[in-house]
Amino acid sequence: MDSGIRRAADAFAGSFRDAINARGLTLARLHELLRVRGNSVSMATLSYWRSGARRPEGVQSMAALSDIEELLGLERGALTTLLGATNRTGPLGPNQFPLDEEELELAVKEAFAALGAEYPDTSRELTTHSVTDVDEAGNVYRSLTRSIVQSTVGTVDAIPFLELTPGESTPAPMIEAVSGGRIAARYSHPNGEVHGVLFELEVPLTAPETAMVEWSVEYPPGYPPQRETGHALARQSRELLVWTRFHPDALPDRIEERVETPNGAETTILDLGGRTSIHQVRRAFGPGALGISWSYDDGR
């Protein structure tokens, strides 16, 4: 283990120990709570993590770590971000276009070429949180996405981020870098269904290094009303969270979840259950797209 990874492991172990002690849990109790949630991480592994002898790696360990943060009352990512760059990429899985639409994929390839990016992208999203706000008219007006990205091979200095509206031609939304880099280039496909930016990282990533990035999307006046949102992944992610927040005066009467992969799509009816927002979480998800659409009985 090199010195950088050793320091990251020590920082993680110290914070893990402090959080366990502050919560007043034993490792045995934490192990049992994880088991109930379907995480089969062993007592020995938890002990190694606490001592710093080992660190979490791989999809299963990172899924367990996400649950641990919640069980210990920590903010999401409080322990994960302490790990820094892992010393291996872990299972990569296939790199596939997440939707079963050949013409749209062709447009995406053209967008990558115009942005000067390699297709398929050699980076991947390890953890992504996508938050969408809906206005009083019931339409999307803003989204904010935060992601831990990783280089899977070679060195990555910029990553394309695209907005797709399959079957609907739209003007370009306003995509801006919030943190972790800057927008180096923009592109809109002539079909109006693919708009994107090239997000230049603050520091180039050499596999398997990781970085945090954050970007926002807002929609200009005259943009067609959008009553669906979601996030698509070309590779498997450790965790994907899609959180949609509705204006109190625009709570939908019907919400439909859509999960789409290269093998097809599935839809499920969801219910707000008295809340003003709805969140979807998938672990070890992708390639594919996760999202929702909504409607109103009053015809708005």
Please identify, in words, the CATH class of the domain defined by 102-295.
mainly beta
d(CA 213, CA 184): 14
User: What is the fold of 3-83?
Assistant: 434 Repressor (Amino-terminal Domain) (1.10.260)
pLDDT of residue 226: 95
Mind listing the pLDDT tens digit for each residue in 162-204?
999 999 999 999 999 999 999 999 999 999 999 999 999 999 9
Whether residue 83 has pLDDT greater than 80: no
pLDDT (0 to 100) of residue 1: 43
Token digits of residue 37: 């949630």
Q: DSSP string of 167-205?
A: T---PPPEEEEEESEEEEEEEE-TTSSEEEEEEEEEEEE
Helix (H, G, I), strand (E, B) or coil at 97: coil
Are 104 and 193 within 8 A, CB to CB?
Answer: yes
Mean pLDDT of 53-63: 72
Same-fold call for 3-83 versus 102-295: no
Reported as a single tens digit per residue, the pLDDT across 240-265 is 999 999 999 999 999 999 999 878 89
Domain ranges of the chain: 3-83, 102-295
Distance, in Å, from the CA atom of 60 to the CA atom of 68, rounded to the nearest integer, reads 12
Which H or E element spans position 107? helix 102-115
Q: 16-45 as b/e, with b when 16 or more CB fall inside 10 Å?
A: beebbeeeebeeeebbebbeeeebebeeeb
C-alpha distances (whole Å) from 56 to each of 5, 17, 88, 90, 152 are 12, 14, 11, 11, 18
Q: What is the CA radius of gyration of the chain?
A: 20
